[in-house]
Structure 1
Amino acid sequence: MCCVIRKAQGRRAYVTMLAGDYDEALIGAVGLVKGLKKVTSQYPLVVAVLPDVSEKDRKLLASHGCIVKEIEPVIMASYVTDYSKLRIWELEEYDKMIYLDVFVQVFENIDHMFDYPDSYFYATLDCFCESWSHSPQHKIGYCQQWPNMDQMDPTLGPKPPLYFNADMFVFEPSWVTYRDLVKTLQTSRTTAFAEQDLLNVFFKDKLVALAPHYNLLLPMLWRHPEAVELDRVKVVNYCANGSKPWTYTGKEENMEREDVKMLVNKWEEIYSDDSLDYKETLTSADGVFRDWRCRIHLRPICCLIIRASWEALL
């Protein structure tokens, strides 16, 4: 089993999570660590992996400078992978961490977020305008991203509580917090957004809402353009259908937009930048990625990038 152990730099780190033999997520993780290097972040990226992540995938992550840490799954009747994300609270060797989903990219340095005051939970608010038909917010026609959300029509009932997106947040690892999260999970009903719903309930009194440019949800571009300042965007969340750069075709709804194309191209520029590759590469003796081209089915530009990376290791 591959295990990469390094001293925690300043006891701070970014963290993401990987499960199974999911090539798109693996590519996202590699793109993410290269993005952090591009913006000259001073802190490492920890990749929390479940036991089903293969040895060669762990070696790929290590070859890009990631700190690979195995976590155990949180066993539930459903959403096991989603709830296993709670395990990152067990990483007590770090005082503070910033969680970044593998489907986001960092375009400006956000290291200053580690200096935010302790004992709070920092995240950006979600948008209820897409794929939220199950939610009470959507059913009453409400979105917390309204510019005048504090003036909600009282005939619609009480204003729903703030709800954050859990693809990027600042937190403090703590085994006690992990224990309490699991206790809350065990007494809660399963909901559509799994761990995100749970975290919103658990941290509702500690939430500090961040500006949208700290985690730009792509639907904000067409749902709430007045709230978006592209020149200020620090983190982009490729959560919209068809927006993942490695499978982007531009055919899905809203994907033909110029701002979407620009953000997809920015991700590709980082991923294809060889100067951002970690220098401590693995040798061909490790036999890594020899079936890479058979496993990945991506748009042509990403295939070329992956092929070049694969050949460099042979």
Structure 2
Amino acid sequence: MNSFGAGAVIVLAVAIGIYYQQYFGDETPTARRAWLTLLNNDEYVPGVLALARSLKRVKSAYPLVVMITLDTVSQEGQQLVLDEGCQLRPIETLLPKQDKKNLAFERFIHGWTKLRAFQMIDVCDKCVMMDADIIVLQNMDELFELEDNPNFAAVQTCICNPAKNPLYPDYWKPQNCPYTHEQHSHSSAEVDSRGRMFNGGLFLLHPNQTVFEEMLVALNTWDLSLFKFSDQDFLNKFYHTTWRRLPYVYNTLKTFSKTHPYLWNETKIKAIHYILAKPWDKLDPDNAAYEEINRLWQEAYDWREQTTAQSPTNI
């Protein structure tokens, strides 16, 4: 190889290294544990930033890895996330072939791409996937240390449907919600069995390509018109008999403050999930009922890591 060719190879190697460091960060790409989230539009950039800052604020030992669709997130949005110290994993959008018109909200169509978390075998052996509308209030690294090391774990969801959305399943009512029955110490047998499901906003998983391929088969064979909550309903069916229930404090819906106030204790809650109206959307009138809870999100978003300036070394 002549000197010109050798020089070109060196330049190319340096360029690849810079690109890799920019997108994957300084941490090794085979870190065995990580928090995951998905970013596939600019609307959720504030959410990712608040989530990242909340994890740093509680001194989590593990990185936040952002699965990102580069073709739908602006360069500015990408740079903001990089500047926050997050690691990026470019992915492609995942959409089933079937019609998606039966979803409760149009935005749920983006949820299918969350399933790519099961492909993150180069990121970690064990991951916790979190929606970008979650903030962490207390360190919860213990999720990576569960004794029975479940393949999949999540928090049971509330099905009270406080907004009374007519597109939600007809059995989503307070009298069928497991948390309502637990409050009154009723037997779980009294709860409509369909109400025993988990919320897809946070779940523990072990990335596995074989499992992901099994999911792709299911996406092409199951009747997805029955799934009003896209990935959440899909995962509930996929892990119907094997999911491990986590305490609600790891994924406390903001609506708990209204539907189950006896559970709302900010000294115990470890993560708040801002379902429905997003706290960064100041124009959404539905946020008026959650001003105090949204304040917690704003505090996480405004938080900045304190750095101690080093005194110059005396010579």
Query: TM-score, structure 1 length as denominator?
Result: 0.77
- Deviation (angstroms), 1:56: 2.7
Gaps of 5+ in 2: 1-18, 101-107, 308-315
Q: Secondary structure at the match of 1:58?
A: helix
- For each residue in 1:162-213, what CA deviation from the matched residue of structure 2 results, as whole angstroms up to 9, or x when unmatched? 2110011111111111111111111112221111100000112221112221
CA 1:149–1:176 in structure 2 vs 1: closer, same or farther (change >3 Å)? farther
Change (3 A) 1:139 1:274: closer
Confirm or deny that 1:150 pairs with 2:187. yes
Aligned equivalent of 1:308: none
Q: Does 1:121 align with 2:152?
A: yes
Instruction: Return the structure number with greater relative CO, CA threshold 8 A, min gap 6.
Output: 2
Larger Rg: 2
Amino acid at match of 1:15: L
Q: Are residue 60 (structure 1) and residue 80 (structure 2) matched?
A: yes
Contact preservation (8 Å) 2:127, 2:206? yes
**2:199 counterpart (165, 173, 176):** 165
* Structure 1: segments with no counterpart, 5+ residues: 278-314
- Corresponding position of 1:194: 230
Which of 261, 264, 276 is the matching residue for 2:294?
264
Whether contact under 8 Å (1:9, 1:44) holds in the other structure is no
Deviating more after overlay: 231-240 vs 218-227: 218-227
Q: How does 1:1-314 map to 2 (within 5 A)?
A: 3-5=23-25, 6-8=27-29, 10-20=31-41, 22-23=42-43, 25-52=44-71, 53-77=73-97, 78=100, 81-93=110-122, 94-116=124-146, 117-130=148-161, 131=164, 133=166, 134-138=168-172, 141-146=175-180, 147=182, 148=185, 150-153=187-190, 159-160=193-194, 162-190=196-224, 191-241=227-277, 244-248=278-282, 251-252=285-286, 255-256=288-289, 260-275=290-305
2:171 counterpart SS class: helix
Following TM superposition, by how much is the alpha carbon of 1:247 offset from its aligned partner in structure 2, in angstroms? Answer: 2.1
Query: Once the two structures are aligned, what percentage of the paired residues are identical?
Result: 25
2:117 counterpart SS class: helix
In the TM superposition, structure 1's runs of 4+ consecutive aligned residues that sit over 3 Å from their partners are 77-80, 131-134, 151-154, 248-251
How far apart are the structure 2 equivalents of 1:66 and 1:176?
27
> Per the alignment, do residues 267 and 84 of structure 1 end up closer, same or farther by CA in structure 2, a change over 3 Å counting?
same
Query: In the alignment, what sits opposite 1:301?
Result: none
Matches of 1:150 and 1:182, distance apart in 2: 37
* Native 8 Å contact 1:97 1:171 kept in 2: yes
Check whether the contact 1:125–1:162 (CA below 8 A) recurs between aligned residues: yes
